[in-house]
A and B are shown apart, each in its own frame.
Chain A
Amino acid sequence: MIKIVFFAALREQLDCAELSITADDVKTVDDIKQLLSEKNEQWQQTFSNASLLSAVNHDMVDGGQLVKAGDEVAFFPPVTGG
């Protein structure tokens, strides 16, 4: 399984903090985005936003990053701390 977590505005838009998917269905972060986009119109709209950031195991990555079972993948908006 791959654990997927969402933060800030993204979590609120999706009304979802985390979920799990089987690792068999996806090879990359972009595959996960594609899979989640297919849920419904809200998810499709959210994941079509080009400014969306992603992380695998707490490191910021781009969409081509490979994923495997046991990974934690995160999606979130551009950061606004400081």
Chain B
Amino acid sequence: MSNKMSDVNTAEEISIQTIDFSLADEVALLEQDNLTDGAIVTFTGRVRNNNNGNSVTTLTLEHYPGMTEKALAKIITQARERWNIGRVKVIHRIGELAIGDQIVFVGVTSKHRHDAFAANEFIMDYLKVKAPFWKKERISDAGQTSESWLDAKTTDTDKAGLWS
């Protein structure tokens, strides 16, 4: 594969972690010693308090260690092939998360805004359908709690399909 930036270390671009992340810290890292890129686009995903009309109390994220990193690295490589982008950072949290918690972060820099906007959306859209994460939600309904795995949404598959 050909990278425009030969010093890109894919392993450093991806973090699967239980701990929270700081948007300010991540933006600072994307900016640090980077005076060539005029655009920074970030996306942060958070846990909603509702899904399909149910009241969600917590969310548990499971993943496939090894494959997750490989799948995300492939997505980032594909983004680099399509757009002229500088730095990329993808963070995905695993384990138990509460309402309002941050789940996912994607940050992309580029010289001009178009590449960073497009690449960021592409990475999120592909992450949704290709990276092996699974959400289990605990739902509270009239004092009864139950757990269930989320179903994949066809809208996510359709959205990712628009890039091909």
Q: Which residues of A contact B (CB under 8 A)?
A: 5, 7-9, 12, 51, 55, 58-60, 74, 76-82
Contacts and interface: CB of A to CB of B under 8 A. Distances in A.
Contacts of B149: 8-9, 12, 77, 80
B104 A82 contact: yes
Contacts of B134: 7-9, 76-77, 79-81
Contact of B67 (A58, A78, A82): A58
Nearest to A60: B130
Interface string B106-138: 000000000000000000100111111111100
For the side of the interface on B, what is the size category? 20 to 34
B131 A79 contact: yes
The main secondary structure of chain B at its interface with chain A is mixed
A33 to B, nearest CB: 18
Contacts of A51: 152
B62 A8 contact: yes
B80 interface: no
Contact of B135 (A7, A58, A60, A81): A81
Given A79-B152, A81-B63, A55 B128 contact: no
B87 interface: no
A81 B70 contact: no
